[in-house]
Structures are given as structure tokens and as C-alpha cells.
A and B are shown apart, each in its own frame.
Chain A
Amino acid sequence: MSFKLASSPHTRKNNKTAFVMLTVMSACIPGILTQAYFFGFGVFIQLAICMSVALFTEYACLKWRNKPIKRSLTDNSALLTGLLLAVSIPPLAPWWIGAIGTLFAIALVKQAYGGLGQNIFNPAMAAYVLLLVSFPLSMTSWLPASSLMVIDLNFYDTLSTILTGYTSQGYSLEQLRSGIDGLTMATPLDAIKTNLLAGYTYNETLSLPIFDNGIGKGWFYVSLAYLVGGLYLLKKRIIKWQIPVSFIGTLGFLTLVTQAVNADGTGSMLLHLTSGATCFAAFFILTDPVSAATTNKGRLIYGALIGFLVFIIRQFGGYPDAVAFAVLLANMTVPLIDYYTQPKVFGHGDK
């Protein structure tokens, strides 16, 4: 009688890829809930659109490429991409924004490169950039926090806006975006950028109703919620500390320095760190293992590089937020970073 043969090790840690992805998604929950609390149900609808398109696209691609469907489809990576994109686009953006973005992310950014693990760019961020460049208006149509909104939106209104562009009462997205002071609302970073360009000082800008005690209303809490999720992932050892720390550290340091030098010309460090996509990106985008650096030293460099790029673009570029661009740029440098940051191998002496 022969025994069954197998290769060592015969025991394995119980964190499967699918589980890792699932954990990351669950870590997004606090952030999503907070987002929904401040900006309405739109985020849920966007999630539904993006995640289902993601699944469908993944399925179609796998089928077309003759790859094992079940195994790849159940690794949850497509769902995660859909999720990350959904929370990045404005809640009331038309449905096709999310659909096009996800299709692009899965089919072109991921599968065209050979599927999971082979893509150079972070799919969600690549799609985001594509959408931002192609549909700048829709992609920047963020709503004010619900408390600042004139018109209350119920779920049905939200759905109808996303699908048709109008609420059931016939309000357009533009009308919805008008704040209580009658001004079109934007994200805090947006507002700062616009106002600074218009000649206001930073402190003057902060007196706008969108800012609450010097921090962006709503955005601050959303960022906090993502931070919580990120810490959870760190604790679970799903992500490594190097990237978030070096990213936040670099961005924080740079904004702190500029703030000290030119207090009127730039947002505070706190604002930079708690506005826009900073926290979300630090824990959920930058740490995407596939497109990030893999060595420990490399991760530090990678995070710092993105922090630096974000700062540069925010400070000097035309776009209010810059995480997506910075990530894509950094993605391109990953092979180089990996190559030059190989750890010293055991017994090879000091290098």
C-alpha cells in the first residue's frame, strides 16, 4: 500500500488570499458607514454598481482568457477593486461613471496584464484617474455633508439621481450640491485650492461653512473611520506598517514645514492628513500588495515617494487631490525600488 505523497510544509497558515481580501473589505466598513452618514446613501448604490460590474467583468475576462473561473472569482480581489473605486467617486455620480471605471479597472488594468498579481498599476486608482480626466465635472461633484445640504435626500431620490441625474422631485445634481449659503459645495481641499487661487488666505478659507473648527466637516470623521479600519488591518497583520507610516509621515512632515514657512498659503498638516483620500489611501490603496513594493526597505521608500508626490501635486498642481496620480507614478517605480532594496541575505556579510 502506498501512502499519499505531498510536499512540505504540510501545514499552512490560515490566511488565504480570499480571506485577506475579505478582511480588507471589512476594514472598510467603518469608513463606508461614516461616509454614508455624512453624504447619504449614494455610496451604497455606488458600491452595488461597482462591485457587481467588477464581478461580471472579472468573470467575462476569465472566461475569455480560459482561466479557472471559480478559483479566481472567489479570491475576492475583483470585489475589493470595485469597493475601493466606489468609495472614491462622488456618491451621486451617474451610474455609468462607476460602471465605466470598474470595467476599465478590471478588464484593462488587471486582466490585460495577466490577472491578479501581474498588474503594474493599482486598478482602482488607474480607473479613478481615467474617470477624473475623462469626466472631470462628474468626478468632482461631491456633495456637502448632509447637515449642510438644503435638500434632504432619501434613498429613492439618491437612486434616481444616480440613474437619471434628477431626484424624484426633479432637482438636478447641481441644485443638490448648493449649500445653505447658496454656494456650490466642494471638498475641503477643493475649496482651499479654489480660494487660495482666488486670493483668499488659508484662514479666511477656513471660515467657510464647509469647515468646522478648522477641519473639513464630515471628511474628518470619514478619515478617522478609515484610520480605524487601517489600524485593524495592521493589527491583523494584513498590511505592513511601513507604507502607511512613511506615507503619512512624509506628507505630514512636508505640510508641517510649509505651514511653518507660509501659514497663509497652504492647508494645515491636520487638514492635509484628514482631508480627501489621505487616510483611505494610506491604508487601503497604497497597501495593495500587487502594485506596491515588496521589500521592507522598498515599502518605506514607496510610501515616502507617494507622500512627496501628493504634497507636490496638492501644493503646485492643478488638481485638488493627488493621491491617485501619486500612486500611479509610484507604481511605475516599484520594480526599480524592489530591485535596489533587496535585503541582505543570510550569511552574505554586510552589503
Chain B
Amino acid sequence: MESLLEKIKAGVLWDFPGGVHPPQRKKLSNQTEISLLPLAEHYWVPVKQHIGAVNHILVASGDKVKKGQALTAFNDKMSVPVHAPTSGTIGKIEPHVSAHPSGIPALSIQIIADGLDEWCEISPKIHFRTLPKSDVIGFIQAAGVAGLGGAAFPTHVKQTPNQPCEILLINGVECEPYITSDDRVMREHADEVIHGIEVLAYILEPKLVVIAIEDNKPEAINAMEAACAGKANFVVRVLPTKYPAGGEKQIIQVITNMEVPKGKISADIGVVSQNVGTVYAIYKAIYLGEPLIDRVVTVTGENIETAGNYRLPIGTPIAHVLNHVKHDNQHNERVIMGGPMMGFTVLNKQVPVTKITNCLLIPTQQELPDAPPEQACIRCGECADACPASLLPQQLYWHSKAKEHDKAQAYNLFDCIECGACAFVCPSDIPLVQYYRQTKAEIREANEEKIKAEKAKERFETRNARLERDKQERLDKHKRSAELRKQSLNTDQSAQDKIAAAMARAKAKKAQKNSTNDITKTDQNAEPNTLENTTLENSAVEKNAVESNISQSNSPIKNKAQEAIARAKAKREAKLNNNASTEEQNTTAPPSHKVESDLDHSPNEPVEADPIKSKAQAAIARAKAKREAKLKNADATATNSQKASASDSASQKEAEPKPENQRAATLTHDSTIDSNNDEIASTVSPIKLKAQAAIARAKAKKAAKLAEESKPAAHSSAESDKTTLEPKTAADQTDEQVDEHLQTSTTNEPTEISEAMYQTELEIDPIKSKAQAAIARAKAKRQQKMAEQASVTQPENAKAEANIQFDAEAKSRAKAAIERAKARRDQANQLAHGGETGSSSITNTTTASSLDSESGNSEDENANQVKAAKVKAALAKAKAKRQKS
């Protein structure tokens, strides 16, 4: 290193490979002094003008700001704030067309200038040498200084290298044609630049400061040499003009003969480089206390008559610049931000000047003609000779064009600095750089994609593993319960049970025919049933228990699982209950006498169903809804009246321990239900607590179901009442009852619909929710129909009442007969259709629900779910139709 420093001091220069000599055209703009433009009406300051993190905005629309006031915070190491370029009011804070080749809108802050241009309080730090270095670095960061050369690399970051700094390289090369801003700064502010360098030197303590300037700027060279006269370790190095000598890597190579290794930064080899403009900004930040709110911009091109350098506040829209420089308005169809080699065309006039805008080039067509159409590559190798990175642009082009990304990378595409030298020399006018940019973007995208895919794969694998585990567990439990079952079968007289079940079914059919009579009895025997109410209360209490139980399980996944279990259980139970109760009713033939009490508590239902916004309830609600859907099936198998008694028996059964239910199911149902059973049993079994909770839940649900069941029961009793009582002209009584029913049904209806909706909302799976919505609709329809029936009955009853004093007895009788006939026909219909379709749909639902519970466990078995949903939807539709008929 020492010898290198000696060599540098002795004036040895090296060279970098390649390079080109585009026409300089610097004379256009470097003849006049840096001047100012009038204030613009408003400025658009992009929030993020540096490489690094996005900042937090400190101001809000309508705030008053002073010139130099910070607009954004800088919380992390890699960020710098932006400041108000003038005093005024904050206008919009929104995405604004950006100084980027794509013009993609970037979040910007609009400042409406008040014309006063009032500074905020500023504090110069002339005696920075008395301050700790970290503080000085902090000041530089707070002043928003970012590399003004090109990449807007936060300057303060460069000042904290890991390696001791040997050489501080001040880049005054300015190799791009046309641009003269650094040139003018060095000519006019040489001393200030030196001061800025001194600040950096204080922080970095370099062994040598090299100021590199191309030999096409003799005035700047003179000025700088004069300014650093007498400073021992400051040298001005004059470089031969060659593009892109000003590239950081190239300049380091020319000055030190060192290459910045791939993947490293210059600081790693002991060189810190800073652009002249940046150094000037540092001077202003430390010596004047002014943050970076303006910069010198070369406005040039043959279209501009008053080409020159202007000190433009950051955020100045290009339109404002164009309004104040003399130019040919007709031909400014192109504005290039930056130089002709690496600059980019901006989208429109609203693009603001940013910290990295060193030049606005508005050329004429003759001056910089549009690129002619691309021709075939003739492998001339010109590009390779021009490339400063010693790449083979031709091969890169070849592979880029063929989209052979790996090969392009093998030819080191990512070492391309996009200097444009290759495209400049290409005799076939191939836009090489454009190809590289595109390929680079594609490769980056592909890499991101790859990372994403890998993550997805990981997720997928863990999920698969989980599913596998679950399945295994399920199988184990299945096996266990199967063994249990075998045992119980061995001990029990299972065969007898089965026979009994078969007989029960046979009887059930017979019983259907007698049910009307039963109902009549029921009404006559009507008496308030306290037992029922207490069970209801109990069930409510239990439900609460369930709720708390579910809400206690803190993990959301658990919650979901429980929900799923709850759903599954609910479905199964619904089915179970229907069947079991039907059976039991038939086998044990209990006296059905609780219709009235059922009626009594049915208005409670809405209260119960009140939406409490807990997931647990959502689950319950869903479960209920589903169960109800199943109930409709039950309706189909049994007549209404039967159901009334069925529910009664179910309610009686409620006090019974759960396992019996399970057994009943086991006995009466096929393996699908078995597996369901087992599954749920198994999920319940492991921990006693859980088991209890599950039982509690099941009970709660049953109770809830009961409550709901009572509604249809009530309706049915109403119907039967009507048919049986009317002939006896017990009009008042009937009216009362009908009224009540009507109330019940009407009050229930909206609640249920809303419940259904609520549940639909809560449903995670859209398909499922659709199916449920369908069910809900079906339900709603059915209830509506019932309500209608009821209301039809009412006016008729009223009429009957009115006529009863007169000769209407005959009439009412006739009507009653008609009603009866109707009712019978209805019943017959229901029996005929429902008996069949209903039973078949029960099996369907069985599968559906089993599928459903499966899918509840394995949420991604979409196919199953879809199937289940479809089956359900079909069912719902079938039901709806049936009920209409």
C-alpha cells in the first residue's frame, strides 16, 4: 500500500480496459456561471431518494413548513431524510410520477411555495473537529446527503467503513458527455469543495486524498490545484478523457490499479470515493448547516438556447425549468435525465428534480437521433473491446436474446455496469444495454419466484407431514375404537339390538299413520312442562360452558379445529338424533305431551341465538344451522306430528349419557357414520377434560336443536290442531294457538335468516358457505311457507268465527273438510316424496357430512369439500322443491 501511495503521489496513472470516446459537447453548458431560477409554485419532493429503507413522513397535508425543514424521519442506518426545498404549505402527499425510466409513481410530498423562501433554524458546525466523529456523521445523515453522482448511496454510510481508509478519492471526472455540473462547482466553489473534503478527511483519516479530474476540464483542474495548494496529502490527478472513467470502479482502477472485487465495495480495499457534488453538499451541511435541498443541474442540449448550470431545489418539476430556460418549444419531445450514455428519458414534464439529477438534456433530433432499427450482430467484437468490465457483450446479447439466463450469468451479466459503451460502438445498432437490463430483471424475478416456490414447497411439505400425522392418528383411533366396539358387541347382545332396530324402523312407518291421533291427544293433554324449561336452562348453561371452553383454548388453530369438530359433531348428532329419536319413539312409544311447553320456549330461541361475537358461537351457530338442515330431512321421513313427539323423546333422552347415543348410531348406521363417530370420539377421548367439554357441547347443541325443533313441531301441531279441532268449532282456541304459531314462526324466521347470514359471513370456506346459504334459503322458504299456511289458517279461522253464530257451521265444516283434505294431501305428498327422497338424502347427507368433517380436519381437500358442498346444495334444492310442492 505504501508503495502504491508513493506511486500515486508520483503521478502514476493506470488504465481500465475498453472505454469509448463519445463527443463531449461540454462547451454547450460550461461557459456560464451556475445561476438560479425563480421559485416554482410548487415542488414535489419524493420521499425516498436514496438506496435504502423508506422513511416515515413527519408532515401532514396543510402543515406549514420552512425551507430546510425535515419532511421525513430517518430511523435506520441506511436512510436519509428529505427536506423542504422552500417555505410553504404541504399540499398533497401521494404517489407522483417519478424520476425513473418507467416514471412509476412514487410517494411524494407536494410543497406549495409561499414565495418567502424562509429558512428554518439552521446550525452550522464549523468547529466540527471538536465534535466526535459519530456526531459529524450524524449531521451528514440528518442533512440528507446521499451520493449525488448516480446511485444516491447514503453518504454517511460510506463514512463508516469496516476497513481503515487509505485513499479518499474525490470523483470530479464527470465522464458523461454534456454534463458540467461538477465542472462548474469545482471552478466556482473549489474552496468549499476542499472544506467538504476536510470534513470527510476528519472522519475517515485517509492517508491520501486524490481529486480525480478528466483532462477536458482545465479550468476546474487549475481551480482545484490552487485550492489544495499547501495541503500535504491532497493531490489532484488528471485523467485522460475516456468514458466511463468516472465510474467508481473504473476511477479506482485508473488511480490505484486495484479492482474492486466482485461482490465487494470500494471501502473493502481501502478506498472511499465521493463525488464532487456530494462533497459540496457535505460542506454546506457542516459549514452552513444547510441540508441538501438543492443541487447544481446542467440543463443542456442543442434545444436549449440558454444552456448552462442551474441551482435547482430538489423537487422542482421539469416543467418549471423548461418555462424558464430559452428553448425551442416545438422540439423538446425528449428530455433525458442524466447524460446521453447512461441517462434515461423521463415520462413527462411533471417529473421532479431529485438528488441524483445531474443533468437535464433536451437534444435535437439531429444531435442525438433516435436509435435506428437493430440489425444482425456481425460478431465484430467492437462491444467487447469497448466494455470497461471486460465482458463479452456480444455473448451476453446472444444469450439474453435467446433467454438463456444461466448462460448469460455464466458470462457474468451481473458485472455489467450498464455504462452503454457496448451499445455505443455497436455497428449494428443493437440496444445491448436494454437487453441486459431486461434479462437482469427477468433473472431477478425468476430468483424471487424461486425463493417463493421454495417457501411454498416447504409449507406444502410441512402440511403434508401434518396431514400424514393426522391421518395416522385418526387411523389409530379408528382402530382402537373399532376394537372397543368389537368388545362391546361381544358383550352386548348386539344382534338383538340390531333386530330391534330393524323392527323399530318397521314400526316407525306404521306409527306415522297414527300420528295425527297422537297429536290430538297431545293437545288435549297439553300442560306446562317444567322439566322442559329446566332442561332448556341447563342447556343454556352448558352452552356457556362450551363457549368458555372454546374461548379458553387460546391457540387459534385449536379453536379452528374445535370448530371443525363441533361442526362435524353437530351434523352427526343431528342425524343421530333424528334417527335415534324416530326409533326410540317407535320402540318405546312415549306419550307425546310436551308440545305446549315446546311452544312456550320456542320464542326463547332468538334470545339464545343472539349473535355474540365469539367464534365459539359462530361454530355453534353453524352447527345449529347444519343440524337444522338435517332436521329437514327428518321432517321428510317423519310427519310433522311425529317429529313433535320425536323431539320430545329426544328431549327426554337428553339427560341420558352420551355414549348411548353413540352406540345407537353405531348400531343403526353404516361405516361412514362410524368413522365419524370414531373420529369425534377419538378427538374427544384423549383428555378427560376435553371429553367432558365435548359432552357438554354436544348436550348444548342438542338442547339448542331441541329448541329449534320445537318450532316445526309447533307448526305441525298447529296444522293438526286445525284439522282436528276445527270441525268441533273450537275456533277461539285454535285462533290462539295459530296466533302463537304465527308469532313463533314469524319471529323465528328473520332470526334464522340473520343467523344463517351471520353464519355465512363467518364461514371461511366460500363453497361451504354457499351450500349453507342454500340450505338457509331452503329453510327460510320452508318456514315462510309454514307461516303462510298458518296465516291462511288464521283468516279462515276468523271467518269461521264470524260465521259461526249463523248458519256457517255447514260452511265451516265444508272448509274444514277442504282444509283437512289439503292437509292430508300435504301429508301424503310429504310422505310419498319425502319418505323416499328424505331417506335417500339422509344417506347422502351422511356421506356429505362425513366428508365435511373430514375436510374440516384437512382443510385442503378441496375436491371433497366441493363435492360435499354440491351434495348439500343439491339437497337443499331438493328440499326446497319438495316443500314447495
Binding site for B on A (CB under 8 A): 1-13, 15-17, 19-20, 71-72, 75, 77, 115-118, 240, 289-290, 292, 294-296, 299, 338, 342-349
Question: B343 near A77 (CB under 8 angstroms)?
Answer: no
Known A77-B378, A116-B378, A295-B392; further 17 A-B contacts with Cβ < 8 A = A3-B332, A3-B349, A4-B370, A5-B347, A8-B418, A9-B420, A9-B433, A10-B345, A11-B368, A12-B371, A12-B425, A16-B428, A17-B375, A289-B379, A294-B381, A346-B259, A349-B262
Contact with A along B351-386 (1 / 0, CB 8 A): 000000000010100001011110111111110110
Q: Can you name 13 A-B pairs with beta carbons within 8 Å?
A: A5-B345, A6-B334, A8-B343, A12-B429, A13-B424, A17-B428, A117-B428, A240-B381, A290-B378, A345-B415, A346-B249, A346-B253, A348-B412
- How far, in angstroms, from A4 to B368 measured CA to CA in the complex? 13
Residue of B nearest to A293 (CB): B381
Question: A289 near B384 (CB under 8 angstroms)?
Answer: no
B22 contacts partner chain A, Cβ-Cβ < 8 Å: yes
Neighbouring B residues of A7 by C-beta, 8 Å: 344, 371, 431, 433-434, 437
Find the residue from A3, A9, A117 having the highest chain B CB count within 10 A.
A9
B807 contacts partner chain A, Cβ-Cβ < 8 Å: no
Question: A345 near B349 (CB under 8 angstroms)?
Answer: no
Find the residue from A5, A13, A292, A346 having the highest chain B CB count within 10 A.
A346
CB of B380 to closest CB in A, whole Å: 4
- How far, in angstroms, from A19 to B425 measured CA to CA in the complex? 13
Neighbouring B residues of A118 by C-beta, 8 Å: 376
Question: B333 near A4 (CB under 8 angstroms)?
Answer: yes
Question: B390 near A344 (CB under 8 angstroms)?
Answer: yes
Contact of A19 (CB < 8 Å), options: B348, B382, B391, B427: B427
Binding site for A on B (CB under 8 A): 16-17, 20, 22-23, 101, 177, 249, 253, 259-262, 264, 332-336, 338, 340-349, 361, 363, 368, 370-373, 375-382, 384-385, 388-392, 394-395, 411-412, 415, 418, 420-421, 423-429, 431, 433-434, 437
Question: B344 near A117 (CB under 8 angstroms)?
Answer: no
- How far, in angstroms, from A338 to B259 measured CA to CA in the complex? 24
CB of B685 to closest CB in A, whole Å: 66
Question: B415 near A348 (CB under 8 angstroms)?
Answer: yes
Contact of A348 (CB < 8 Å), options: B262, B372, B385, B388: B262
Question: A117 near B379 (CB under 8 angstroms)?
Answer: yes
Neighbouring A residues of B343 by C-beta, 8 Å: 8, 10
- How far, in angstroms, from A119 to B389 measured CA to CA in the complex? 28
- How far, in angstroms, from A1 to B103 measured CA to CA in the complex? 13
Contact of B349 (CB < 8 Å), options: A1, A72, A290: A1
Question: A343 near B384 (CB under 8 angstroms)?
Answer: yes
- How far, in angstroms, from A72 to B332 measured CA to CA in the complex? 32
Contact of B341 (CB < 8 Å), options: A11, A289, A344: A11
Question: B262 near A347 (CB under 8 angstroms)?
Answer: yes
Neighbouring B residues of A296 by C-beta, 8 Å: 384-385
- How far, in angstroms, from A72 to B411 measured CA to CA in the complex? 29
Question: A9 near B341 (CB under 8 angstroms)?
Answer: yes
Neighbouring A residues of B260 by C-beta, 8 Å: 347
Question: A4 near B259 (CB under 8 angstroms)?
Answer: no
**With known contacts A5-B345, A8-B343, A348-B262, A13–B390 Cβ distance under 8 A:** no
- How far, in angstroms, from A75 to B469 measured CA to CA in the complex? 70
Contact of A11 (CB < 8 Å), options: B22, B394, B418: B22
- Sort A-B residue pairs by CB-CB distance and give the 10 closest, nearest first: A9-B420, A289-B380, A346-B389, A294-B381, A7-B434, A11-B340, A117-B376, A347-B262, A10-B340, A343-B390
CB of B341 to closest CB in A, whole Å: 4
- How far, in angstroms, from A348 to B391 measured CA to CA in the complex? 11
CB of B597 to closest CB in A, whole Å: 79
**With known contacts A5-B345, A348-B412, A11–B377 Cβ distance under 8 A:** no
- How far, in angstroms, from A8 to B336 measured CA to CA in the complex? 9
- How far, in angstroms, from A349 to B412 measured CA to CA in the complex? 13
**With known contacts A12-B423, A295-B381, A342–B392 Cβ distance under 8 A:** yes
- How far, in angstroms, from A2 to B318 measured CA to CA in the complex? 12
Neighbouring B residues of A116 by C-beta, 8 Å: 375-376, 378
Question: B429 near A349 (CB under 8 angstroms)?
Answer: no
Question: B177 near A11 (CB under 8 angstroms)?
Answer: yes
**With known contacts A7-B434, A289-B378, A20–B347 Cβ distance under 8 A:** no
- How far, in angstroms, from A6 to B382 measured CA to CA in the complex? 22
Neighbouring B residues of A347 by C-beta, 8 Å: 249, 259-262, 264, 389, 415
CB of B700 to closest CB in A, whole Å: 67
Neighbouring A residues of B345 by C-beta, 8 Å: 3-6, 10
Question: B381 near A10 (CB under 8 angstroms)?
Answer: no
Neighbouring A residues of B23 by C-beta, 8 Å: 11
Residue of B nearest to A344 (CB): B390
- How far, in angstroms, from A17 to B372 measured CA to CA in the complex? 12
- How far, in angstroms, from A16 to B372 measured CA to CA in the complex? 10
CB of B640 to closest CB in A, whole Å: 74
Residue of A nearest to B102 (CB): A5
Find the residue from B16, B260, B333, B427 having the highest chain A CB count within 10 A.
B427
Question: B412 near A115 (CB under 8 angstroms)?
Answer: no
Neighbouring B residues of A6 by C-beta, 8 Å: 334, 345, 370-371
Neighbouring B residues of A20 by C-beta, 8 Å: 378, 380, 427
- How far, in angstroms, from A12 to B425 measured CA to CA in the complex? 6
Residue of A nearest to B177 (CB): A11
**With known contacts A1-B348, A19-B427, A75–B375 Cβ distance under 8 A:** yes
CB of A37 to closest CB in B, whole Å: 32
Neighbouring A residues of B389 by C-beta, 8 Å: 345-347
Neighbouring A residues of B332 by C-beta, 8 Å: 3
Contact of B375 (CB < 8 Å), options: A13, A71, A294: A71
Residue of A nearest to B434 (CB): A7
- How far, in angstroms, from A222 to B727 measured CA to CA in the complex? 135
**With known contacts A3-B333, A20-B380, A20-B427, A10–B348 Cβ distance under 8 A:** no
Contact of A10 (CB < 8 Å), options: B101, B349, B368, B415: B368
Neighbouring A residues of B380 by C-beta, 8 Å: 17, 20, 289, 294
CB of B426 to closest CB in A, whole Å: 8
CB of B492 to closest CB in A, whole Å: 82
**With known contacts A5-B345, A7-B433, A7-B434, A345–B412 Cβ distance under 8 A:** yes
- How far, in angstroms, from A9 to B244 measured CA to CA in the complex? 12
Residue of A nearest to B332 (CB): A3
- How far, in angstroms, from A295 to B382 measured CA to CA in the complex? 10
- How far, in angstroms, from A299 to B381 measured CA to CA in the complex? 10
CB of A292 to closest CB in B, whole Å: 8
Question: B424 near A3 (CB under 8 angstroms)?
Answer: no
**With known contacts A3-B346, A7-B371, A13–B20 Cβ distance under 8 A:** yes
CB of A43 to closest CB in B, whole Å: 26
- How far, in angstroms, from A4 to B332 measured CA to CA in the complex? 9
Residue of A nearest to B351 (CB): A3
Question: A9 near B340 (CB under 8 angstroms)?
Answer: yes
